[in-house]
């Protein structure tokens, strides 16, 4: 009888711990009803997909490394939203968003690039996009440059470019990216 009671108590404790672990954090998934960055962005579809994969992998790694802190979840929300706009059907992005939405820590993904290299790539691509006259390219440039500085704060060029951008144009309103409803998504749309 005592053994049965012991097994039952242990079973309940394990079940309670598992339930608590499964939904141990609150992640508010981004709203991406229509992609902001389409064919007018001056990026090939394959390039957008590669950036989406690497960005979402970085976001997942940060959430895991920082144990799903509120700051890491908010940054992941921004990065995942950007990745979803770049490539709405990107496998890694959709899986990571689903896992976070359901309170599951994603597995740490080994990206193609270290954070320092990803930061330099984002900065370089952001600078190229800044030179374009298309509004969606300019918005994407601002996102890339800010993320380049956040991902690697030791990248002085990225930090300098971000600070200049912030001084000249103000802080980027990430709600444009993270809460993009169809009515708001005029920037990235092309005429049929």
What pLDDT digit, counting tens, does each position of 128-156 carry? Answer: 999 999 999 999 999 999 999 999 999 99
Asked if residue 57 is part of any domain, the answer here is yes
pTM exceeding 0.85: no
Asked if residue 72 is part of any domain, the answer here is yes
With 90 as the cut, is the pLDDT of residue 182 above it? no
**The token pair that represents 27 in the structure block:** 């992640």
Asked if residue 60 is part of any domain, the answer here is yes
pLDDT at position 188 is 43
Q: What average pLDDT score do residues 153-174 get?
A: 97
Query: Which residues, including other chains, have CB under 8 Å from residue 4's CB and lie 6 or more apart?
Result: none
**Higher local confidence (pLDDT), 121 or 181:** 121
Asked if residue 94 is part of any domain, the answer here is yes
pLDDT at position 58 is 97
The span from the CA of 128 to the CA of 42, in Å, is 9
The span from the CA of 36 to the CA of 7, in Å, is 54
Q: What average pLDDT score do residues 8-32 get?
A: 68
In degrees to the nearest 10, what's the CA dihedral of 141, 177, 180, 86? 60
Asked if residue 141 is part of any domain, the answer here is yes
Task: Tell me the β-bridge partners of 31.
Answer: 179
With 90 as the cut, is the pLDDT of residue 118 above it? yes
Query: Which residues, including other chains, have CB under 8 Å from residue 155's CB and lie 6 or more apart?
Result: 116, 119, 120, 123, 148, 149
Q: In b/e form, how buried is each residue of 153-169, taking b as 16+ CB within 10 angstroms?
A: eebebbbebbeebeeee
Domain range for residue 92? 33-182
The total of structural domains in the chain comes to 1
Asked if residue 59 is part of any domain, the answer here is yes
Mean pLDDT value across the chain: 87
The span from the CA of 46 to the CA of 16, in Å, is 44
- Give the pairing type, strands 31-32 and 179-180: parallel
């Amino acid at each position: 009888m005592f053994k049965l009671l012991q097994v039952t108590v242990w079973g309940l404790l394990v079940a309670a711990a598992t339930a608590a672990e499964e939904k141990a954090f609150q992640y508010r998934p981004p709203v991406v009803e229509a992609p902001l960055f389409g064919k007018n962005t001056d990026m090939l579809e394959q390039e957008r997909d590669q950036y989406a994969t690497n960005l979402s992998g970085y976001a997942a790694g940060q959430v895991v490394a920082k144990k799903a802190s509120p700051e890491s979840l908010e940054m992941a929300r921004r990065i995942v939203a950007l990745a979803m706009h770049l490539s709405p059907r990107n496998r890694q992005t959709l899986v990571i968003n689903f896992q976070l939405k359901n309170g599951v820590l994603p597995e740490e993904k080994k990206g193609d690039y270290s954070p320092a290299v990803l930061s330099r790539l984002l900065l370089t691509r952001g600078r190229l996009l800044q030179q374009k006259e298309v509004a969606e390219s300019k918005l994407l440039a601002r996102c890339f440059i800010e993320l380049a500085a956040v991902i690697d704060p030791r990248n002085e060029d990225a930090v300098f470019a971000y600070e200049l951008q912030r001084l000249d144009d103000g802080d980027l309103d990430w709600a444009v990216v993270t809460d993009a409803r169809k009515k708001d998504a005029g920037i990235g749309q092309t005429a049929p």
